[in-house]
Structure 1
Amino acid sequence: MAEGVQNGLLRAVQVARETAVHRAPNGIAYGAFGDNSLEGRDLERIVQAVPSAIAAALARKAYYFVPLALSEGRTGDSTLVAPAYTTELGDQATCHRNVTLDDADGVFISTRLLGDRFALSFEFFINVAHAFVDVTGVPDSFQQLAWSQAVARVRGETSQDAWESRNLSFSGKSDSPDIVDERAKTSFLESAFSDSIAIYLLSLAIDFDYTELREREYPLLAPQALGERLRLVGKLFPPNAGYEFAVRYRRRA
């Protein structure tokens, strides 16, 4: 049995040792633990949505889908896992926790904090996208597209980070596209690329309405501009067999 800590909590490193890790056809390592409310087929469908070209860069990653993941104590250095959901523990948990394991970089995703398949999928895909960009960087083709949209002042962005860093790229500067904060520009391009990958993967796994990503803190990127980014990502990373990418626009009555 895994080592108990308190209130039935288990140390994440021990959960990793005792949880069967599967290797999806695309190469991603993942496991499921506890009362996570997931069906095996649904989880496999989500994981396999990651194109093999992206999954190849994640050889060091292992994704664990657990009911709740939370930090131990005030320092938050260690990660604990709850084998089942409780309201008290849910208040302490976070959407995911990163853990250094003996042979992998573990990502423990709190399935019971993410109320539906949409939220769970997006949390997983955001983690995948950021990990991928950390390894590979941003391709020139995407940099050129996203920056041309920023210079043209296309409305909105795909996340708070992208929105803030894009604005900071021009903050305190003239309107000239040749005078920018290069550090903020780099941050913007990395965030925008990560976001676009995550949204692209989400579109492969489930059918969703773009407005479901709406946040209060920033306006969403204009649909036409997002479509351009997603089509480019789709060309760079074609879907695996059994998945299809499509952008559909709907006119308001």
Structure 2
Amino acid sequence: MAEGVQNGLVRAVQVARETAVRHAPNGIAYAAFGDNSLEGPDLERLVQAVPAAVASALARKAYYFVPLALSEGRAGDATLVAAAYTTELGDRATCHRNVTLDNAEGVFISTRLLGDRFALAFEFFINVGHAFVDVAGVPEAFQQLAWGQAVADVRGETSQDAWESRNLSLPDRTESKTTVDERAKTSFLESAFSDAIAIYLLSLAIDFDYAELREREYPLLAPSALADRLRLVTKLFPPNAGYEFAIRYRRRG
């Protein structure tokens, strides 16, 4: 792979051209490149966690798990891939880069930048959630549930985007805003649904504590409200064979 190498970097389109793409049993196309710190069976189990009903909407996507993906930083903003991690390149890399390929859209995920299995899995599943919503939209049942929670002023949300768009969408009589902002409402429902898909997939792939998703900028959605969203999502998209969805509450004391 000498062609296109610059200071240890390779163009993403070349990586896609020269790296064998595999298909998980659910149909998702994926590939691994370079010193990405991933074991083959672990990566396949991560990809296969996506239920077939969700995976079917991702036929135009191919996911590349690479050590680092970064912008070339010149006109055209081409994506480059590092075959191995270095501190210097890590400072320039991003969690993922989208690249238009000949027959698909490639999503290049920086495995060495994400640090641990939890962060890597969530980055992948967030990408899957957004891609699914772009293709399939938001089911009416989820719209009714999430909007009902917002109108009822249920505490918190599942991401900064969902939190901000939810607040923008709701009437605020103290500021003489008495109507719903429909554009912000649509943005909120799309964000909330893609978040719910990502958290659901994360729960299938690894055992984690909901508090691990906490961020400073917004309060997390109340656990009971999230549980209602996740139960609906698992009803819409049942787990593949070998995966189990479960919500476990920590007992006080």
Whole-angstrom distance in 2 between the partners of 1:138 and 1:116: 30
Q: Please list the CA deviations of residues 143-172 of structure 1 after superposition, one character each: whole Å capped at 9, or x if unmatched.
A: 000000000000000000000000001265
Counterpart for residue 101 of structure 2: 101
Counterpart for residue 188 of structure 1: 188
Whole-angstrom distance in 2 between the partners of 1:132 and 1:108: 17
Whole-angstrom distance in 1 between the partners of 2:152 and 2:115: 37
> By how many angstroms is 1:73 displaced?
1.6
1:15 aligns with 2:10: no
> Against the structure 1 CA distance between its residues 42 and 248, is the aligned structure 2 distance closer, same or farther, given a 3 Å change threshold?
same
Counterpart for residue 68 of structure 1: 68
> Against the structure 1 CA distance between its residues 92 and 39, is the aligned structure 2 distance closer, same or farther, given a 3 Å change threshold?
same
1:148 aligns with 2:135: no
Runs of 4+ that moved beyond 6 A: 174-178
- Letter of the 2:55 counterpart: A
Whole-angstrom distance in 2 between the partners of 1:173 and 1:62: 47
> Against the structure 1 CA distance between its residues 173 and 9, is the aligned structure 2 distance closer, same or farther, given a 3 Å change threshold?
farther
Contact 1:173 1:180 in 2 (8 A): no
TM-score (norm 2): 0.97
Identity of aligned residues (%): 85
Whole-angstrom distance in 2 between the partners of 1:2 and 1:235: 49
> By how many angstroms is 1:251 displaced?
2.5
1:124-135 map, 5 Å:
124-135=124-135
1:20-35 map, 5 Å:
20-35=20-35
> By how many angstroms is 1:173 displaced?
5.1
> By how many angstroms is 1:6 displaced?
1.8
> Against the structure 1 CA distance between its residues 10 and 208, is the aligned structure 2 distance closer, same or farther, given a 3 Å change threshold?
same
1:50 aligns with 2:50: yes
Contact 1:68 1:94 in 2 (8 A): yes
> Against the structure 1 CA distance between its residues 145 and 250, is the aligned structure 2 distance closer, same or farther, given a 3 Å change threshold?
same
- Letter of the 1:195 counterpart: D
Counterpart for residue 110 of structure 1: 110
Whole-angstrom distance in 1 between the partners of 2:173 and 2:127: 33
- Letter of the 1:107 counterpart: V
RMSD of the alignment, in Å?
Answer: 1.6
- Letter of the 1:247 counterpart: I
Whole-angstrom distance in 2 between the partners of 1:100 and 1:9: 18
> Against the structure 1 CA distance between its residues 227 and 76, is the aligned structure 2 distance closer, same or farther, given a 3 Å change threshold?
farther
- Letter of the 1:156 counterpart: G
- Letter of the 1:94 counterpart: T
Whole-angstrom distance in 1 between the partners of 2:180 and 2:139: 20
Counterpart for residue 119 of structure 1: 119
Counterpart for residue 240 of structure 1: 240
1:171-182 map, 5 Å:
172=172, 179-182=179-182
Whole-angstrom distance in 2 between the partners of 1:4 and 1:86: 19
Q: Please list the CA deviations of residues 210-232 of structure 1 after superposition, one character each: whole Å capped at 9, or x if unmatched.
A: 00000000000000000000000
SS in 1 for 2:81: strand
> By how many angstroms is 1:178 displaced?
7.8
Contact 1:31 1:63 in 2 (8 A): yes
| Structure 1 gap segments, 5+ residues each | none
Counterpart for residue 80 of structure 2: 80
> By how many angstroms is 1:5 displaced?
3.5
Q: Please list the CA deviations of residues 8-41 of structure 1 after superposition, one character each: whole Å capped at 9, or x if unmatched.
A: 1000000001111000000000000000000001
- Letter of the 1:98 counterpart: N
> By how many angstroms is 1:74 displaced?
4.4
Counterpart for residue 38 of structure 1: 38
> By how many angstroms is 1:126 displaced?
0.3
Whole-angstrom distance in 2 between the partners of 1:246 and 1:2: 48
